[in-house]
Amino acid sequence: MRLTSAAVAIEALRQIPTLLLTYNPESFSAALLLFFLQFAASWVLLCAIIRKESKFRPDHKILLSSLLILFVIGFSFSVVSGFPQSKLEWLPITLPAVFTVLAILWKTYHTKIAALSGRILLVLSALSIASIRAALLVVESTEMVYLLYYLDVLVFPILVSALVLTEIENAHFKVSEILREKIRSEKNLKFALNNSLDIILTVNNAGLLLTWNNLAEKVFGYTDAQTIKKIHIDDLFSGNYCHKNEDRETVLDAVMEGRDGKKFAVNVRMKAFIEDGESYAIYVIKTREKSH
């Protein structure tokens, strides 16, 4: 986003030499500044599009360096030659901007974008700028030159907006994928817990029941509404069991009691853990035999 913002800022600065040329069409320094800013905005935007998808690879660096060298050569030639007197003499300084926007078009076409709408807008706006800048090289009418130039100024922000839109759409797509994966994981975990051959309970720091699986409900005879955040783990044991948060795994044999008063021997494994700053404990209980 920093590179995109920089491209927008450079594009905004391009209006300064444009204003100077309005008052003095023969100002060579203003024309040079205008073409420099036009190229710079496009070049930085190309960097933003490349960086959006991945780090700068060697082929990216070669492409960016080649465009920059081409512009430096053309700019230097124009400075030495003086104010161009024909369309042909403008080519050294104008072609790099055309090639850069063609590179933008190529890169946007091959960029991975989650939403089709963002891809279409990005490609169309890049294609429009490429067409406009190519047309500027061949038109002869002064009025057409001004028209195409202002179209270029108008479409460039649309291209930037399309890039930002794709960023938002991609972020939304990634968040949606993460949420879907989390839901799938939670469903898989719930399925595993509910089909476990052991009773599995989780309690908070005070020992209050937070979750239990289907087997626990079947063995103890309580419903979720009767137990979750209402029954203390100690109440399920027969005797003087007292819940303590143990960092290391604790294993013990005990006797537990169901809602109907029936008692049964169990093997208990318990271990405490911390999540988001809160202490919890998980009990894995295996019934050994039932007694009355």
| pLDDT tens-digit series, residues 206-225 | 889 988 888 888 889 888 88
Q: Where are the domains of the chain?
A: 2-177, 196-291
Neighbour order of strands in the sheet with 199-204:
209-212, 199-204, 278-291, 263-275, 250-257
253, 266 in Cβ contact below 8 A?
yes
Q: Which amino acid is at 123?
A: V
- pLDDT at residue 113, as a whole number: 66
- pLDDT at residue 160, as a whole number: 79
Report domain 196-291's class: alpha beta
Give the integer Cα–Cα distance in Å for 190 and 174: 24
- β-strand partners of 26: none
Q: Pick out the chain residues at pLDDT < 70.
A: 1, 53-54, 87, 113-116, 142, 289-292
| pLDDT tens-digit series, residues 11-29 | 788 778 778 877 787 788 8
- pLDDT at residue 66, as a whole number: 92
- β-strand partners of 284: 200, 269
5, 67 in Cβ contact below 8 A?
no
Give the integer Cα–Cα distance in Å for 44 and 40: 6
Give the integer Cα–Cα distance in Å for 110 and 105: 9
- pLDDT at residue 142, as a whole number: 66
- pLDDT at residue 67, as a whole number: 92
- pLDDT at residue 292, as a whole number: 43
Neighbours of 198 (CB within 10 A): 16
- pLDDT at residue 53, as a whole number: 67
| pLDDT tens-digit series, residues 37-68 | 888 988 988 888 887 766 778 888 899 999 99
